Amino acid sequence: MQKTDEKISQAKAKLLLEYPYFGTLASKIDVIINDDIEAFKSDGKKLEINSDYLQNLQLSEMEFVFANGAMHASLAHEMRKNKRSGWLWQMATDMAVNDMLVQNGLDMPYGAQYRERFSGMYAEEIYAELKDDILRDDENLEYEADDVDDVQNNEQTRQELEEEILQEQLFAEDAIALLESKTQTGEAPTTIERFFQLHDFGKVDWRNELRIALDKYFQDDYALMPPSKKLLYSGIYLPSNISQTFRLIIAVDSSGSIDEVLLNEFLSEVNFLMTLVQNYQIELLVCDDKIQSHSTFYSGERLEIDVKGGGATDFRPVFHFIEEKFDDVKLLLYFTDLDGIFPKNAPDYEVKWVSAVEKEIPFGILLQLL
């Protein structure tokens, strides 16, 4: 007989290879052997499974079990329950999850909660129908509540409940972030929208893009002169690591239509990112149809701004100013509503337009604030 741990590892590896989204989530959940249950169950925190039941499963069926546990862990049961009966809500969610797994081609084992009549339905819809079944004394109801799951444990303190909800939320956020990346690459599971809101997943995460932009251009340079003294005594010449000052240029559109709330959010994010960079210099330009101010900030200083202007919007003065005043520019972040006069030609450095609106731009990349 194959060892339990070995079989679990094989099934998780197979799931990760064949269904990367489910496999990645499943790798984070605890699997606990519980011979007091007949098959398996997941409460959003752990996956419990009977040892004999596990040994009788094919690897493909174990994939289904682990995908089920992964989905339960990512759905934040306590937060989504909304005063519903705990055991009935878990059952409804289980049926919705299993139906989704079946539609994605996973091999459902015996003992899994599934009813064809609920195919394609949301957990909320299934819950309502199950509740009606109980009220009609449906003799075919296949679930009996146990006291532990059906009754709120009075010994659970408010702090314990809050910690449980926090852990659920953190796992759910990881699941959503992973799903967003899979959605953008076309690898999201079928009908997953029953459980998560996907309408914003196609949009650019401006915070992530901002981090990528800064990581790309802030990097230590290497030079052979002067050489590193570490092994110089033995005749080995290694390049020295010379830390360069990272210059970032930020332009702020000070025309009357700028949203100050979003501007403050943007500057707060830049402030936070700059705390991660030891050597930086920010050139901050405020401009409507002309340059209103120019300020320079260095490591350790807080990025503060007094927005003056209110006139029309012309982006050209910023690009003229940069061309006249700065050398070796790599990146410009321009906060604006995009309603202005653009330069005719793109500069030889990267431009990222940061805006709350989505409009066509002649060059550069749009980071849309959401």
173 by DSSP, 3-state: which? helix
When pLDDT is cut at 50, 70 and 90, the band that residue 346 belongs to is very high
Domains in the chain: boundaries: 4-194, 206-368
**Two tokens at 74?**
């990512």
Q: How far is CA 332 from CA 3, 60, 251, 279, 349, in A?
A: 58, 51, 7, 18, 8
- What's the rounded Cα separation, in Å, for the pair 121 and 126? 7
For the stretch 221-233, pLDDT in tens is 333 344 444 444 4
pLDDT at 266: 67
* pTM as predicted: 0.50
* DSSP calls for 303-331: --------S--BSHHHHHHHHHH-SS--E
Name the average pLDDT for the chain: 76
For the stretch 279-331, pLDDT in tens is 778 899 988 889 999 999 887 777 777 777 777 889 999 999 999 999 888 88
For the stretch 123-132, pLDDT in tens is 888 888 888 8
Q: Are 287 and 309 in contact (CB under 8 A)?
A: yes
pLDDT at 282: 86
Q: Are 112 and 137 in contact (CB under 8 A)?
A: no
CATH of domain 206-368: 3.40.50
Which residues are CB-neighbours of 169 under 8 A, at least 6 positions away?
76, 79
Closest CA to 99 of 75, 124, 116, 80: 116
What average pLDDT does this structure show over 202-215?
Answer: 59
- What's the rounded Cα separation, in Å, for the pair 223 and 139? 79
For the stretch 141-169, pLDDT in tens is 444 443 334 434 444 565 665 566 666 66
What average pLDDT does this structure show over 75-87?
Answer: 65
For the stretch 356-369, pLDDT in tens is 888 899 999 888 77
What average pLDDT does this structure show over 235-245?
Answer: 49
Return the C-alpha torsion angle 83, 88, 91, 96, nearest 10.
Answer: -60
- Measured in degrees and rounded to the nearest 5, phi and psi for residue 270 equal -65, -40
